[in-house]
Structure 1
Amino acid sequence: MDMAVSLKRRTGAVAFLYWLWDGIDRTIFTAIKFSFPARFVSPFGFLGMLTFIVFIILGVSGALLMFYYQPILDRAWDSVQFINDEVPFGFHIRNIHYHGSNAMVLLAVLHMYYQYFSGRYKIRNEVLWMTGVILGVVTILEAFTGYDVIFSERAELAISIAASLTTSIPVAGPTIRDAALGSGFSDFVLRFYAQHVFLLPIVMLGLMAVHFPRFLVFDVPMVMAIGGAILITGGVFPIDLGFKFEPTVPPGVTVPEWYLTGIYAFMRTQYDKFVTGLLWPLIFLISFVLVPFIDRYKKFSWRDRPFMTAFGITSLAQIMVTTYWGFYISPDIAKPLVERLVIDPIFFYSTMILMVPLGFGFSYMMIKLANEAERKAKLAKSTGPKKVASINLTEKWINWLLVALLAFQVFLNIAAYNAALTGMKNVSLFFVGIILLVFAAFFHVYRYAMSQQKNAPPPVPVPVSDEKPKLMEPEVSTQQGKTPEGDATSEEKSTPKELAPEVSVPKTQADLGVDANVNPNIGSGDLNKP
């Protein structure tokens, strides 16, 4: 009935849009509440939303790459080269897709650790935390399958690692390897391509539907800044194709992506692959999944949860150490390649063990320093309010700043267009990233101006006096005649005189409210006088 009424009142596209909105109102999409900050807020509070934005960027750029990519063994690398060199804006799209995948993994890791140290998993968010950890693992797998489908020498190394790890799984290892990788290189490219563009994104969307809270923050300047950072990174560090994998040519020295070098370092110690490459990372992930059930502290701050804080800092330290060891290759070229890749297990695991007391000691020191800083802040607050320095721009400066940013935006658009015409692909990509950053700054300044206008104090009311000004006699000109000093008449003339007081007029009986009909002869005596 409501729909029929709305369609009668509105016609055309407007009626259709209202009908569509009424239908969406009964779905899950309108249950999610978006918040658009009116001022700057810390991006750490909505890193999950930024990760999802990057996921959308990857979906759009990946769909464009699918038009030209060929998931065939002998054409995969050549098709990527064609996209990079021949397709219009193919270089830009490929760099956005590659650096966006790295940005998504990095944002997911930062988001997880921020939630960990802030204790967000304690307020009935256990399901969100567990799905978030699983979603982070699937994100890494999605990025891993993405750069493998190029089938370069670097991709071949990652494929070999994946094949050896799956084969090392007891009992079900060979079956899992055949299902995920196929029976050879010909099957591998197509299967990884299907996993990358369909299976893993479906799993990620399903986990996101459970993981996302109902209240989301969408900050336009920060979204533009993240997009600009991805483009600038692509312009400064353009991704190369690498060498095409040739089975008859021995591979060169290479390492996998940074988010896999930790596992690669464990495997290079030449211990059991299942233990070093699968079991230990699995124990690490399970411990993170169980964090909400292990943490029994009643408070949320990292200062009030010393053991959990020490565990988080130690895990971060070990991730950084293993990542460094994964990139490290002995510079001695006289050694064979296999010997250069081997990591001394005694030194490696000794460093890992040493990270535990160092992590706990560093956590204790940080907690002590934070408590001391809080004590000093309370002491300073008790002595008196401390004025906080702030930057307040006038309306004139805000207008000039907006004009300057707009002019700079126009210049950057012209520069990016000229760079694209002259074939400087990475420079044009860099300029487009700067354009997004300038737009973010423009939007933030405009938002600041709007908030300043809303918070402006009301004008001070001008007091109005009800007293009538006294009338003064005009001063007598001194040129008409001067009197000697001390003369009283001169003083009287020089000072203004007030007007004579009003003389009250006697009121008649009519004014006094006497009825004229009572005595009709009132006033007739005056007429009889001569």
Structure 2
Amino acid sequence: MAGEKENIKNLLDRVVEAYEWTVKRLERTILFGIRLVIPNKIVSPHGFLGMLTFITFIILGVTGVLLMFYYRPSLAEAYDSVALINNEVDFGIVIRNIHYHASNLMVFLAIYHLFYQLFSSRYKIRNEVIWVTGVILGTLTIIEAYIGYDLIMNVRAVLAINIGAALTYSTPFIGPILANIVIGTGFDDLILRIYTLHVLLIPMIMIILFTLHFPRNLVFDPGMTGIIVGALFITSALFPVPLGDKYTPEFPAQVTVPEWYINPLYALLRTELDKFVMGVLLPTLFIMMFMVVPFIDRSKSMKITERPLVLGIGISGILQSIVTTVWGFYVDPDPRKNYLERIAIDPYLFFGVLILINVISFSSAYLYSKYSKKFSTPQKRVKSEPIRISQDTIEGIVYAMIIAELYVVGVSLYMYLRGDLTFALITTGLSLIIFGFISYGIRLIGSR
């Protein structure tokens, strides 16, 4: 038994040595102009949310390129080509599910990353450029996801297209110019142009911004990456993307809602007030509110309790996003009302709630800041006793996980060969999660 454990330890040591050898050589190439830092200890994923977002971006790029082989950007063929990918192309439904859920994951991670950086004051210490480019990247992430699902040309996609077209035409001065560039003269022009934006122009802009946004030292955690990507694969298998109803010009209007990240904008437009103010001006001001934070927060303190203005902006931003998203999903269930009556939102009630959220958010932030100083008392740090696990136990657990990993990978390959793509994707995700925990186990062994 002792000999087997020694062999496993030697094998793990060789893997770590091979990895370190490769990394040290790659450091001399342009690939490692930005230094990847792999933490020696288990750290919070909050420290590398940006990297997780970028990894999701890479997954979207790979799956998007594979989808491009079969997608046809025209009104007559767009929906049918997606149906072909779903029903006939080998692994097509798997790739499309991963692509769809990865887009939602990237939007979520970008928003989560923004608010974490806001509350932890990471925009300070000469990080203004990183912060501003991050806000722009977050906005582009939502736009990229929005035009991506427009390409399906189902009923739900056309709703999103109509929202974008209405905002474009309502914009003073540059609206008609933008409409001519982006929309063209009909659906065929529109699909081809937003397809170009989706697969080429916006990703290129994002890649350029990534070079300005990433710090010099990037934290990359293989363990958490495996767990997140594995969870993405399992989610993609358990929640397949519906194709929806094909759009035809004579198709009667259906009561539907867009994706969750567009719902705040949709809720604003459903107040039936001026489209430019609701759909362009207010969202732009909301984005600008976050963009100027480093320039209005002159406090030298990094503590959130000593920065009530920023705390208020953060609380208000989160609550407004949640409320408008949920409100965007709500549709009057009364079938006797016509389409416009069912989707209309009372502007007085809507903005009354938003104003109340702002009042509660900022007053709570200032009260919390004031009384947390008044009642806070210095406390002695109590050194917590770490949970001690013997080296033999950790090595045994890692050994068991390696065996489980080999078994799950074998099952996954078998399921792919059998054509059971759902179970195969689940087991692939599970193997990535196990890999993540193996990575943490090796890290624990190496730190002792």
Q: Please, what TM-score do these two structures have when normalized by structure 2?
A: 0.90
Aligned to 1:275: 277
Provide closer, same or farther for how the CA distance between residues 26 and 403 of structure 1 changes in structure 2, counting only shifts above 3 A.
Answer: closer
Aligned to 2:133: 131
1:405 and 2:401 correspond? yes
For the residue of structure 2 that corresponds to 1:379, the secondary structure is: coil
- Which of 88, 93, 96 is the equivalent residue of 2:95? 93
Q: Counterpart amino acid of 1:404?
A: A
- In 2, Cα distance between equivalents of 1:305 and 1:286: 19
Aligned to 2:8: none
Aligned to 2:446: 450
- In 2, Cα distance between equivalents of 1:372 and 1:394: 45
For the residue of structure 1 that corresponds to 2:241, the secondary structure is: coil
Q: Counterpart amino acid of 1:431?
A: T
Aligned to 1:464: none
1:158 Cα deviation after fit: 0.5
For the residue of structure 2 that corresponds to 1:216, the secondary structure is: strand
Gapped regions of structure 2 (runs ≥ 5): 1-21
Aligned to 2:58: 56
1:407 Cα deviation after fit: 2.9
- In 2, Cα distance between equivalents of 1:86 and 1:370: 61
Provide closer, same or farther for how the CA distance between residues 85 and 369 of structure 1 changes in structure 2, counting only shifts above 3 A.
Answer: farther
Aligned to 2:170: 168
For the residue of structure 1 that corresponds to 2:105, the secondary structure is: helix
Instruction: Check whether the contact 1:238–1:426 (CA below 8 A) recurs between aligned residues.
Output: no
For the residue of structure 2 that corresponds to 1:393, the secondary structure is: coil
Aligned to 2:306: 304
Aligned to 1:78: 80
- In 1, Cα distance between equivalents of 2:228 and 2:372: 30
- In 2, Cα distance between equivalents of 1:427 and 1:335: 44
- In 1, Cα distance between equivalents of 2:229 and 2:29: 33
1:373 Cα deviation after fit: 9.1
Provide closer, same or farther for how the CA distance between residues 240 and 373 of structure 1 changes in structure 2, counting only shifts above 3 A.
Answer: farther
1:365 Cα deviation after fit: 5.9
- Which of 308, 315, 318 is the equivalent residue of 1:316? 318
Instruction: Check whether the contact 2:130–2:214 (CA below 8 A) recurs between aligned residues.
Output: yes
Instruction: Check whether the contact 2:41–2:447 (CA below 8 A) recurs between aligned residues.
Output: yes
Instruction: Check whether the contact 1:303–1:370 (CA below 8 A) recurs between aligned residues.
Output: yes
For the residue of structure 1 that corresponds to 2:76, the secondary structure is: coil
Instruction: Check whether the contact 2:75–2:191 (CA below 8 A) recurs between aligned residues.
Output: yes
The within-5 A match list for 1:174-185 is: 174-185=176-187
The within-5 A match list for 1:220-239 is: 220-239=222-241
Once the two structures are superposed, what CA deviation does each residue of 1:37-89 show, in whole Å capped at 9, x if it has no partner? Answer: 11111111111111111111111111111111111211111111111121111
Instruction: Check whether the contact 1:48–1:108 (CA below 8 A) recurs between aligned residues.
Output: yes
Once the two structures are superposed, what CA deviation does each residue of 1:351-384 show, in whole Å capped at 9, x if it has no partner? Answer: 1011012212443465478668963xx4344xxx
Q: Counterpart amino acid of 2:122?
A: R
Instruction: Check whether the contact 2:309–2:366 (CA below 8 A) recurs between aligned residues.
Output: no
Q: Counterpart amino acid of 1:66?
A: M
| CA RMSD between the two structures | 2.2
- In 2, Cα distance between equivalents of 1:251 and 1:243: 12
1:437 Cα deviation after fit: 0.8
Aligned to 1:426: 422
1:204 Cα deviation after fit: 0.6
Instruction: Check whether the contact 2:307–2:369 (CA below 8 A) recurs between aligned residues.
Output: no
The structure that has the greater radius of gyration is 1
Alignment size in residue pairs: 426
For the residue of structure 1 that corresponds to 2:135, the secondary structure is: helix
Aligned to 1:240: 242
- In 1, Cα distance between equivalents of 2:227 and 2:74: 37
Instruction: Check whether the contact 2:332–2:342 (CA below 8 A) recurs between aligned residues.
Output: yes
Provide closer, same or farther for how the CA distance between residues 249 and 364 of structure 1 changes in structure 2, counting only shifts above 3 A.
Answer: same
Aligned to 1:392: 388
- Percent identity, aligned pairs only? 45
Greater helix content: 2
Aligned to 1:68: 70
- In 2, Cα distance between equivalents of 1:51 and 1:78: 31
For the residue of structure 1 that corresponds to 2:379, the secondary structure is: helix
Instruction: Check whether the contact 2:49–2:109 (CA below 8 A) recurs between aligned residues.
Output: yes
- In 2, Cα distance between equivalents of 1:80 and 1:272: 35
Provide closer, same or farther for how the CA distance between residues 401 and 310 of structure 1 changes in structure 2, counting only shifts above 3 A.
Answer: same
- Which of 104, 109, 115 is the equivalent residue of 2:111? 109
Once the two structures are superposed, what CA deviation does each residue of 1:92-126 show, in whole Å capped at 9, x if it has no partner? Answer: 11111111111111111111111111112121111
- Which of 187, 210, 220 is the equivalent residue of 1:218? 220
1:172 Cα deviation after fit: 2.0
1:428 Cα deviation after fit: 2.4
Instruction: Check whether the contact 2:253–2:339 (CA below 8 A) recurs between aligned residues.
Output: no
1:406 Cα deviation after fit: 2.2
The within-5 A match list for 1:336-347 is: 336-347=338-349
Aligned to 1:194: 196
Q: Counterpart amino acid of 1:379?
A: Q
For the residue of structure 1 that corresponds to 2:218, the secondary structure is: strand
Once the two structures are superposed, what CA deviation does each residue of 1:111-160 show, in whole Å capped at 9, x if it has no partner? Answer: 11111111121211111111111111111111111111111111100000
1:189 Cα deviation after fit: 1.1
1:437 and 2:438 correspond? no
- In 2, Cα distance between equivalents of 1:247 and 1:360: 47
Gapped regions of structure 1 (runs ≥ 5): 1-17, 453-530
1:25 Cα deviation after fit: 4.3
- In 1, Cα distance between equivalents of 2:372 and 2:425: 42
Comparing 77-86 with 261-270, greater Cα deviation is found at 77-86
Provide closer, same or farther for how the CA distance between residues 368 and 432 of structure 1 changes in structure 2, counting only shifts above 3 A.
Answer: farther
- In 1, Cα distance between equivalents of 2:427 and 2:372: 41
1:416 Cα deviation after fit: 2.9
Q: Counterpart amino acid of 2:96?
A: R
Once the two structures are superposed, what CA deviation does each residue of 1:9-62 show, in whole Å capped at 9, x if it has no partner? Answer: xxxxxxxxx9xx79x9485x4432221111111111111111111111111111
1:155 and 2:157 correspond? yes
